[in-house]
């Protein structure tokens, strides 16, 4: 089974590093599909894998000709951390306090499917959709809080939401949106891991597959960032759209499987 989880980590984070998806949006539905772990364990496996990918990707990006808008991305990241705490608190309340894990799993899959469909439609028709350049810091922070809340509650790391928002509200091209998304994901997943370590007893989770997924995440980050340097914006966007469609269909299957 460790080979399967290594491949999941590798595949998800390679695509995540190329297209700014992060990987959690792929890992979460796939682990739901296989059904080996509960939602809380999946959240930790996903966050640790994506964080390892984001770390090596950011190190490699320092030598690339991409622009990270550190001010705006840092504001979004800060908001994402705050929103992440709120989203995780809401998730824990429903799953641990009320014990409706199955109901939350169904709701997560439905909400994620709707968001992915909207993102796919946006990128398909973005040439006729007006894009903006938001500069108000309070608005940017608020955007980060909303992104963090949704991403944490859904357990996806925020990748596709980040990319769509960076494109729509900050007029970034596909490659720069992907790289800035990785920057945001690094901080959001770090906070998710810290929060999990502080608020839960890690020993209660079955994390036997975690080392293999982290190794997959590191390798995926190296491979994905290598390819980002060599491909065009159009190719990045195409990979993003194909990945979104694939994840959408997995989520639709998971809704019926639940």
CA atoms within 13 A on the CB side of 64: 21
Q: Among the listed ranges 80-94, 112-126, 191-205, which one has the minimum average pLDDT value?
A: 191-205
Classify the C-alpha dihedral 69-71-76-77 as positive or negative: positive
Give 25's contacts (C-beta < 8 A, 6+ positions apart). 16, 112, 116, 156, 157, 159, 160, 247
Q: How confident is the model at residue 66 (pLDDT cuts 50, 70, 90)?
A: low
Average pLDDT over residues 115-136: 91
- Say what the pTM is: 0.87
Residue scoring higher pLDDT (198 or 225): 225
Which pLDDT value is given to residue 193? 84
Domain boundaries, the chain: 2-257
143, 165 Cβ separation under 8 angstroms? yes
With a CB cutoff of 8 Å and minimum separation 6, the contacts of 113 are: 248, 251, 252, 255
Region 108-115: mean pLDDT is 89
Q: What percent of the chain has pLDDT over 70?
A: 97
pLDDT the model gives residue 228: 82
What is the band of 139 on the pLDDT scale with cuts at 50, 70, 90? very high
pLDDT of res. 65: 64
pLDDT of residue 3 exceeding 80 = yes
> Which tens digits make up the pLDDT trace of 140-194?
999 999 988 888 888 777 788 999 999 999 998 888 888 888 988 888 888 888 8
Q: What is the pLDDT of residues 20-30, one digit of tens each?
A: 887 888 898 89
CA distance 244 to 235: 14
pLDDT of residue 121: 93
Pick the closest to residue 159 from 101, 115, 220 (CA basis). Answer: 115
Confidence of residue 68 (pLDDT cuts 50, 70, 90): confident
């Amino acid at each position: 089974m460790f080979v399967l989880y290594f491949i999941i980590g590798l595949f998800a984070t390679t695509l995540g590093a190329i297209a700014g998806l992060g990987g959690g949006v792929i890992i979460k539905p796939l682990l739901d599909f296989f059904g080996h772990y509960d939602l809380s364990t999946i959240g930790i496996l996903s966050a640790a894998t994506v964080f390892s990918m984001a770390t090596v990707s950011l190190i490699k990006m320092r030598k690339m000709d991409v622009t990270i808008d550190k001010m705006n991305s840092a504001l979004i990241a800060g908001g994402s951390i705050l929103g992440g705490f709120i989203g995780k608190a809401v998730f824990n309340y429903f799953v641990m306090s009320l014990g409706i894990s199955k109901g939350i799993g169904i709701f997560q899959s439905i909400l994620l499917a709707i968001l992915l469909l909207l993102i796919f439609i946006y990128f398909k028709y973005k040439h006729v959709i007006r894009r903006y350049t938001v500069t108000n810091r309070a608005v940017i922070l608020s955007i980060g809080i909303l992104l963090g809340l949704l991403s944490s509650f859904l357990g996806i790391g925020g990748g596709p939401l980040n990319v769509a928002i960076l494109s729509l509200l900050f007029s970034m091209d596909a490659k720069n949106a992907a790289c800035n998304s990785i920057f945001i994901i690094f901080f959001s997943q770090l906070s998710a891991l810290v929060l999990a370590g502080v608020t839960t007893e890690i020993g209660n989770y079955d994390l036997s597959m975690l080392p293999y997924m982290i190794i997959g995440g590191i390798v995926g980050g190296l491979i994905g960032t290598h390819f980002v340097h060599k491909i065009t914006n159009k190719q990045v966007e195409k990979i993003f759209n194909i990945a979104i469609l694939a994840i959408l269909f997995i989520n639709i299957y998971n809704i019926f499987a639940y």
